[in-house]
Amino acid sequence: MDARDLRIIERSLGLLGPRVIARLVVVAAVAVAALASGCIKPVLSPDEDRTQFDRYDGIRAQYAPQYISDEFGIRRPNLRMRLGQKE
């Protein structure tokens, strides 16, 4: 970048009012906070019981795992077995 480019950038920033700059700072802060909060530990671990019936199903060998891998190896929720009729 040469001096001409810097003057163009300074002039374009001068055209933005202080309110616009303040709004951009707030939006950037919210975006950083949202991205940082995505790295927290989940509330429920996969090892804990999901419902009051999980222990009952586990004792009777009807426990359905929370996730299964499909034919392509992609991890998917096991909705069909978890929500279907029990034998």
CB atoms within 10 A of CB 64: 17
Positive or negative CA dihedral for 24, 28, 34, 37? Answer: negative
Q: Is the pTM of this model over 0.75?
A: no
**Band of the pLDDT at 72, cuts 50, 70, 90?**
very high
Alpha-carbon distance of 54 to 60, in angstroms, equals: 10
pLDDT digits (tens, 9 = 90+) for 28-38: 898 888 777 77
Share above pLDDT 70 across residues of the chain, in percent, rounded to a whole number: 77
Which has the higher per-residue pLDDT, 30 or 54?
30
CA 65 – CA 81 distance, rounded (Å):
8
Taking alpha carbons only, the member of 67, 31, 73, 33 closest to residue 47 is: 67
Q: Work out the number of other CB atoms within 10 angstroms of the CB of residue 63.
A: 15
* Rounded average pLDDT over 46-65: 78
What number is the average pLDDT over the span 35-43? 71
